[in-house]
Copies of this chain bind each other. A is one copy, B any other.
Amino acid sequence: MPDVIPDDSVGLVTPQLQHFDQPLTLRSGRVLPQYDLMYETYGSLNSNQSNAVLICHALSGDHHAAGYHSMDDKKPGWWDTAIGPGKAIDTNRFFVVALNNLGGCSGSTGPTSINPESGEVYGPEFPILAVRDWVNSQARLADVLGIQQWAAVVGGSLGGMQVLRWSIQFPERVRHAVVIASAPKLSAQNIAFNEVARQAIAKDPDFHDGWYHKFDTIPKSGLMQARMLGHLTYLSDDAMRQKFGRDLKKGKLSYSFAPEFEVESYLHYQGEKFSTRFDANTYMLMTKALDYFDPAADFDNDLVTCLSRSQCDYLVVSFTTDWRFSPERSEEIVNALVHADKNVSYACIESDNGHDAFLLPIPRYMDIFKAYMQRVAASIPLDNAAEVTA
């Protein structure tokens, strides 16, 4: 709800829908006969289409990465701290593309869409996707937008996995890859957390095996539990200690099972909010894409060989208290890139904020990110038609 749009905001933005009627064959072998992608753009594409940056979103993200949809919006897009005039991803220099991934619930084709083959909502019949499927669909969007090569592909968490996949799947189409708070594959512990979250949804009687729309209901408590668990793993132990400690909601214990500690109320609130905005089948799909991601598996589990295919430079960023994708996981990527003779810059950022740090405007993080993106801007091929003036 900005009274005035801030100077460093991309301002009011309007999402666009792109239809694709060429079938997309998925990793699972299934085929999407046609699909839509909802996306937003910020900044201007230069005349030789060399200043485009793709933003890949994480588990619960969408295409609304920056700016406002209306003057009534309470909050800007989810990565407004990083995208805008003069920001790390400087929209005076770059043409930024952010989309809602396939399988999403914010306008792109997903479980809530109509299956053209049946004329009914896909629901649980929407195919399970892999990160490579997203990258393939994103490449088609790039084709439509006339972008042959991205100046940079950028993402955090599950978004970082899409960046890694882009760099090996379309090596010639990526000049720079920015991989933030990510991992080359999930650990058994990561998969286990996802499965507990999925079970919470799947066992909610309102889930109806994913057909809840037919019963005019949503698996609210399952989604709420999944989000409570997810959210808890995005925060660090330290951050939670500082934010909540053992503070009691009503100053004293009630000896009941209602939320008594502040941290319980906070998680209930976060879970509740999420359960009314996010689609349960999409949540299930997104966690599966996380579980499946393992690009080195096609290269005899050798991440060095896998990443050797890439032709881009890399920035890899991790955060000290991120225990979901710890710095060690980022360092696996960095070490493999070094052994593959790639140019890689790496920063481990001191932060108390756990995995969530990647969304926050931490000064050293933003400085390093901005410096790297200035290097990306400097490498934009000369464009005689539209001089970059900012």
Contacts and interface: CB of A to CB of B under 8 A. Distances in A.
Interface of A: 28-30, 127-128, 185-189, 191-193, 195-196, 198-200, 202-205, 221-222, 224-225, 228-229, 232, 235, 237, 240-241, 243-246, 253, 255-257, 259-264, 267, 284, 288, 291-292, 294, 323
Contacts of A195: 228, 259, 261, 263-264, 267
B232 A192 contact: yes
A288 B253 CA distance: 11
Given A127-B255, A128-B256, A255-B128, A263 B228 contact: no
B232 A294 contact: no
A203 B204 contact: yes
24 contacts: A128-B255, A188-B237, A188-B240, A188-B245, A188-B261, A188-B262, A189-B232, A189-B240, A191-B246, A191-B264, A192-B232, A192-B264, A192-B267, A193-B232, A195-B228, A195-B261, A195-B263, A195-B267, A196-B232, A199-B221, A199-B228, A203-B221, A205-B205, A229-B229
A257 B288 contact: yes
A10 B222 CA distance: 46
A72 to B, nearest CB: 33
Contact of A267 (B128, B186, B196, B255): B196
A158 to B, nearest CB: 17
Contact of A257 (B30, B198, B256): B198
Contacts of A186: 246
B240 A187 contact: yes
A202 B257 contact: yes
A187 B246 CA distance: 7
Residue from A195, A203, A261 whose CB has the most chain B CB atoms within 10 Å? A195
A204 to B, nearest CB: 7
Contacts of A240: 187-189, 192
B192 A263 contact: yes
B267 A284 contact: no
Residue from A187, A224, A294 whose CB has the most chain B CB atoms within 10 Å? A187
Given A246-B188, A246-B191, A263-B191, A196 B237 contact: no
Residue from A256, A257, A263 whose CB has the most chain B CB atoms within 10 Å? A257
A57 to B, nearest CB: 22
A260 B205 CA distance: 23
Contacts of A235: 189
A128 to B, nearest CB: 5
Nearest to A292: B253
Contacts of A193: 232
A204 B203 CA distance: 8
A296 B176 CA distance: 53
Contacts of A232: 189, 192-193, 196
